[in-house]
Amino acid sequence: MLLRDIAHSRTGDKGNISNISVIAKSEKYWPLIVKEITEEVVADHFENLILGDVVRFILPNIQSLNFVLFQSLGGGVTQSLALDAHGKCFSSVILEIEIFNEDLINKD
């Protein structure tokens, strides 16, 4: 199972910092998302794309995570040599994370 099956995402940029939301498609996926999509998993998944830290914020009311990726945009949109200087495509990348503990999905 991929994160894309149970969550959606949007990317934003401020300076050289990218933020990526991970939003549960349904409440029943929320515990699994909180457990599986950690700072370490995201940092590993983005490997060579980011130079700085990854910080996760949890918003239980809206069953969402917000990841902040420091030094991740080649200097930021005003300077970067990248084709996607905003890092708009990162939301599609995070949704490719594989989920293994499907038994954590709330059945009721």
Partner 1 sequence: MNVLNHRILRIGTGAGFSGDRIEPAVELCEKGDIDYLVFECLAERTIALAQLEKLSNPNGGYDKLLEQRMVAVLPICYKKNIKIITNMGAANPLAASKKVQEVARSLGIHGLKIATIMGDDVADKIDKKNCLLDTTQASISDLGDKFISANAYIGVESIVDALAQNADVIITGRASDPSMFLAPQIYEFGWAMDDWVKLGRGTIIGHMLECAGQVTGGYFSDPGQKEVPNLAELGFPLAEIDFEGNAVITKVEGSGGIVSEATCKEQLLYEIHDPKSYLQPDVIADFSNVIIERVGENRVAITGGSGYARTDKLKVSIGYDDSWVGEGQISYAGLGCVERGKQAIKIIEKRISLTEINCTETRGDLIGMNAILGEHGNNFANPYEIRVRFAARCPDKFNAERICQEVESLYLNGPSGGGGVVTSFKKIIAVASTLIPKQLVDTNVKILES
1, 51, 53, 57: which one binds partner 1 (CB under 8 A): 57
Binding mask of the shown chain, residues 16 to 45, with x at each position contacting partner 1 by CB under 8 A: xx-x-x-x-x--------------------
Is 82 a residue that touches partner 1 (CB under 8 A)? yes
Q: Does 13 bind partner 1 (CB under 8 A)?
A: yes
What is the rounded distance in angstroms from the CA atom of residue 25 to the CA atom of residue 15?
Answer: 29
Distance between terminal CA atoms of the chain? 20
Q: Is 100 in the site for partner 1 (CB under 8 A)?
A: no
The rounded distance, in Å, linking the Cα atoms of 1 and 49 is 23
Cα separation, 88 vs 73, whole angstroms: 10
Query: Does residue 106 belong to the site contacting partner 1 (CB under 8 A)?
Result: no
Cβ proximity to partner 1, 57 vs 101, nearer residue:
57
Among 3, 32, 33, 68, binds partner 1 (CB under 8 A): 68
Name the token pair of 83. Answer: 């084709």
Residues 6+ positions from 14 with CB-CB distance below 8 Å: none
